[in-house]
Structure 1
Amino acid sequence: MQHVSIGQASDLLGVAVSTLQRWEQEGRLRPAFRTCGGHRRYSLLQLNQLCGKSSPEQRKVVAYAMVSSHDQKADLQRQRDRLEQHCLAVGYANPELLTDLGSGLNYQKKSFKKLLKMIAQGKVSTLVLMHKDRLLRFGADIVFELCKLNHTEVVILEEPVNTSLENRLVADVIELMTVFSARLYGARSRENRHLAA
């Protein structure tokens, strides 16, 4: 789809249809052409440039891998290898591989923040993940909605094995306890070092 209607253009730009009509009268943004019925059609390339988003040719494939602790570095390498193999097998040219070491509850991981920024700027055509929870333990659906809004395809290589609700809840509670225990002991450790100094 290279051209969109005025309604779709207003959604993409986040402005009212009347604003686009006014911009046309002012010469700020003109439609690429009008249909035989007189309907405006706007160029996606022009709209993306106006938003500061990348053109389709500049969008890239990004593969993302994450583990929560240093003792899982072997798993991180396994994820990297599997993601690279998949990208090569399906013919993705020059995919960018981002990795993080940190909890699935940590939203401040460096590569995760970079990934979010790239998606929001329209720079990612495809996001490749090993598992859904390799992105975030909770809240991955929000990122997937952001992908949808920015026309980013999400590819998940391995769907989780069907586990019971009870087992998933136990895993989630353990993850929460681990993260909050680490924060508590980290805070106490800093406090003790401060008192000793």
Structure 2
Amino acid sequence: MERFVGIGEAAEVLGVSITTLRRWEAEGKLVAEHTPGGHRRYDLAKLRPDQFRAEQDARRKTIAYARVSSHDQKDDLERQKQVLELYCARQGWTFEVVADLGSGMNYNKKGLKRLLSAIIDGSVG
């Protein structure tokens, strides 16, 4: 996908009319680059960052994190994991669910350490 597009394609991507794009630009709601010939060019990464990022970060996965404080809440943890799995699957993401049982004040939880390591090494989308 080309990153910069003309006004017609930008309107199509956003599902609005060309007139609406021109009005949004006049109102300062979005910014268009202008070519030397005066034609508008829109940056798709700014118009639809969710779509553009998905193409760039296809190698990265999403990590969903669930945690409860005590063993008494183990059923709640399972429900959290199911909700996160369903949401991530519906988004079409490559994902992993990481879960921990323990206080939020305890920073030595195995799942939390794994999550932070994945973020630091750049493998998380």
In the alignment, the residues of structure 2 paired with residue 59 and residue 90 of structure 1 have an alpha-carbon distance, to the nearest angstrom, of 14
Shift in Å, 1:57: 4.0
Q: Deviations over 1:88-117 (max 9, x none)?
A: 111113x11100001000100001011001
Unpaired runs of 5+ in structure 2?
1-55
Amino acid at match of 1:87: C
1:58 is paired with a residue of what secondary structure?
coil
Shift in Å, 1:58: 2.8
More helix by share: 1
Shift in Å, 1:56: 3.5
2:74 is paired with a residue of what secondary structure?
helix
Asked which structure has the greater CA Rg, the reply is 1
Identity %: 51
How large is the RMSD of aligned CA atoms in angstroms?
1.7
Q: What aligned pairs does 1:16-165 form with structure 2 within 5 A after superposition? A: 56-93=57-94, 95-125=95-125
Q: Deviations over 1:127-181 (max 9, x none)?
A: xxxxxxxxxxxxxxxxxxxxxxxxxxxxxxxxxxxxxxxxxxxxxxxxxxxxxxx
Q: Whose relative contact order is higher, 1 or 2, with alpha carbons under 8 Å and at least 6 apart?
A: 2
> 2:52 — aligned with what?
none
Relative to 1, partners in 2 of residues 1:72 and 1:86: Cα closer, same or farther, differing over 3 Å? same
2:104 is paired with a residue of what secondary structure?
coil
> 1:166 — aligned with what?
none
Q: TM-score, normalised by structure 1?
A: 0.34
In the alignment, the residues of structure 2 paired with residue 87 and residue 56 of structure 1 have an alpha-carbon distance, to the nearest angstrom, of 15
Shift in Å, 1:59: 1.3
In the alignment, the residues of structure 1 paired with residue 107 and residue 124 of structure 2 have an alpha-carbon distance, to the nearest angstrom, of 19
Unpaired runs of 5+ in structure 1?
1-54, 126-197
* Displaced runs of 4 or more, over 4 A: none
